[in-house]
Amino acid sequence: MALTRRQKEVLDFIVVFLKEHEFSPSFEEIADGMGLASIATVHKHLTALETKGYLKRSFNQSRALELGPKYYRELRLKRQEAAHNAFAPPSLSTPLLGTIAAGRPIEAFPNQESLSFKDFLGAPDVYALEVRGESMIEDHIMEGDYVLVEKTEQVRDGDIVVALVGGSESTLKRFYHESGGKARLQPANSTMDPIMVPLSDLQIQGRVLAVHRKYR
């Protein structure tokens, strides 16, 4: 059973009193401290707190209030939650509010979904690279963009990959298998020629997962 607001205030008063004095308050001290009209009202609140497991009382002793098992259980849960939140990573999601037209206007609708980046960020096999050059502009990857790359050697034809050519030069291109043990690294720029390279001279260092662009 949940505590009422007044029961919670009485319990908080007792907790603070115990911390400050190292013994429990008397009924009179609770009444004075809480501004309660009578000892009977104090007794009513203490009985409710005891019934709900937040207090223990010994009726044959003065100042015989003790905090009950439910109080300590909830205190322990709050501390565990606080410790978890202190070390929890920041949220990797952002509200997804709908779609936006880049052509004709469309009607906007409220949307309660969220877009999560946790599949990309924080993973040990995902890293970021800043793009230099214009070889992928027709795939909307511009100079200054950041690509998120999954570290893998297993890619399929058409994947955008980070490829190390001849052990010395890394490049961002679309990957295609060709006959004769070769690969084609295809730029997304009609003014540039593809790179043909023997598979033996090619090392795939990763596959592009996403593109991030900052507007300054």
Active-site residue list: 135, 173
Query: Are residues 178 and 186 in contact, defined by beta-carbon separation less than 8 angstroms?
Result: no
- With b for 16 or more beta-carbon neighbours within 10 A and e for fewer, the 195-208 pattern comes to bebeeeebebebbb
Cα distance between residue 68 and residue 80, in whole Å: 19
For the CA atoms of 156, 185, 198, 155, the dihedral, rounded to the nearest 10 degrees, stands at -20
76-77-80-85 Cα dihedral, nearest 10 degrees: -140
- Whole-angstrom distance, CA of residue 126 vs CA of residue 112: 28
Residue from 167, 176, 171 nearest 202 by CA:
167
Q: Is 185 helix (H, G, I), strand (E, B) or coil?
A: strand
For residue 95, give every residue at least 6 positions away whose Cβ sits within 8 Å of its Cβ, in sequence order, or none.
Answer: 113, 114, 115
* 132 three-class SS: coil
